[in-house]
Amino acid sequence: MIPRQLLEIWGRIPRRRIWIGLGILLLSVPVVLLDEGAREFFGGTPGWLDGDEPTLKVLTRPLASSYYIENGQPAGPEYDLVNLFAESIGVTPEFIVKESSAALFEALRAGEGHLAAAAISETEARVSGMRFGPAYHSVDQLVVCHRDVSSPLPRGPDELVGLRVHVAGRASHEAFLKTWREQHPDLNWERHASLSSEKLLAKVAAGEADCTLVDSATFALNRRHLPQLASAFVASAEESLTWVLADGQWWLGRRLRDWLHWPGTAARIAAILNRYLGPTRLFDHVDFQVYKRRIRKRLPQYRALFERVADEHDLPWTLIAAQAYQESHWDPQATSPTGVRGLMMLTRNTAESLGVADRLDPVQSVEGGVRYLKQMLARLPETIHAADRMWFALAAYTIGAGHLDDARGLAAHLGRNPDSWHALEETLPLLAEKRYAGQLRFGSARGADAVRYVHRIRNYNAILKRALAQGSL
């Protein structure tokens, strides 16, 4: 029997409060009793986090804008970004590579991964019916053509009529074409479901197609290898890039949103993207065409020298070769109006300090130049991230260690990170401005030239490595 006093108290409680209390009680049921999707929805952690070493399964594609293997190690913008995120939630990423967008989305629907990271636009995810996370970057969707397809290049969808337009299996790209066809019924194209955008760019460069559609990041990363390509017009501007989440990954989606809003995340993402995309802003298709010819004709004379000296100093030989090309175009007799000479363009004072007796001797020049580069690396503070140290050292090689120190000091004064190459790229050009002269211990300098110097070496290095991978040497 329930005591009469309790019944009286119960009767005085408003029915609305009773229902609220019952609701709270139901929501308090331990989430471990629910299935994994419900656990996540109600704020619990997913089952795949259980265990000592939880693994985040990431579906990606083998693209320069996403994920690739370099010197036996994985690399790429998406690879670095995913690792940054995975570190923040205490898991280890496992990358599963799929050859096409269709295969990637199919695998995600089948539960092979927790998320997909492959330079996917929100439009692509939406058209494909996928659930996507918050944006982390934006790109333009471009129509890219062979430089010789017409003069001038097509400037709108109507001028694609009659051209051989090929597109990859991305649903969003074909959606553009279908929309344009409503206004231009004679517009036709060929769809390649199994080919990536990068492979279609190669087809256009080889003259096997006239034009294709591709995002601006993929175009920027590939045009230095394929200088026959040119951007004709923008199909869609400022499209957000995102990661696509598998069904039921509520917890992961929340953590991703939280991570993107953490202080400092935006700057770290910008630094990663700049590491890959920064050098592509400096593009000269004629220069790159000449460089590719000289890889075949001039480089073989000095390759063994570059390899030997680089190996002695534990440096990539392709980087040393790229630097030598930037300095002298692999001309051992090169001499500048200011008196620097040789393959590595050493000054007289630098050569004497390195024990180089004959700057025009290729062996002495390369050995001296690499020793000097190692000196620049050795004097850098340990606080500079390993991925950026070489760019700092190359900048010091060309502008001088003192001016590099001035740039780092100025960056700190302006509230920028003096240990970030991304910040130094913005700060070095300020060394030439009079308003900062009083803050520079070593005086003004042409800092913008140092930034271009590093960008060109990075581009030359990327082109050379691509040529080696393709067996062009």
Q: What is the DSSP string of 349-418?
A: HHHHHHT-S-TTSHHHHHHHHHHHHHHHHHTS-TTS-HHHHHHHHHHHHHH-HHHHHHHHHHHHHTT--T
Q: For 292-301, 321-330, 333-342, which range has the lowest pLDDT when averaged over its residues?
A: 333-342
Helix locations, 232-277, DSSP H: 250-261, 265-277
Residues 151 and 25 in one domain: no
Residues 426 and 350 in one domain: yes
CB atoms within 10 A of CB 459: 23
Residues 347 and 387 in one domain: yes
Q: What's the distance, Cα to Cα, between the start and end of the chain in Å?
A: 94
46: cis peptide before it, omega within 30°?
no
Residues 82 and 222 in one domain: yes
> Would residue 327 show up in a list of annotated catalytic residues for this protein?
yes
Residue of 78, 159, 327, 425 marked catalytic:
327
Residues 331 and 276 in one domain: no
Residues 15 and 50 in one domain: no
405, 423, 404, 401: which is closest to 414 by C-alpha?
423
Whole-prediction pTM: 0.67
64, 184, 78: which is closest to 136 by C-alpha?
78
What are the pLDDT digits (tens) for 332-365? Answer: 999 887 788 999 999 999 999 999 999 999 999 9
Strand, helix or coil at 245?
strand
Residues 276 and 346 in one domain: no
**What sign does the dihedral 239-240-243-244 (CA atoms) show?**
negative
Residues 204 and 325 in one domain: no
Structural domain boundaries, residue 220: 35-280
| pLDDT number for residue 50 | 63
> How many helical (H) and strand (E) elements, i.e. helices and strands, does the chain have?
20, 10
Q: What is the mean pLDDT of the chain?
A: 86
What are the pLDDT digits (tens) for 137-184? Answer: 989 999 999 999 888 999 999 999 999 999 987 777 888 899 999 999
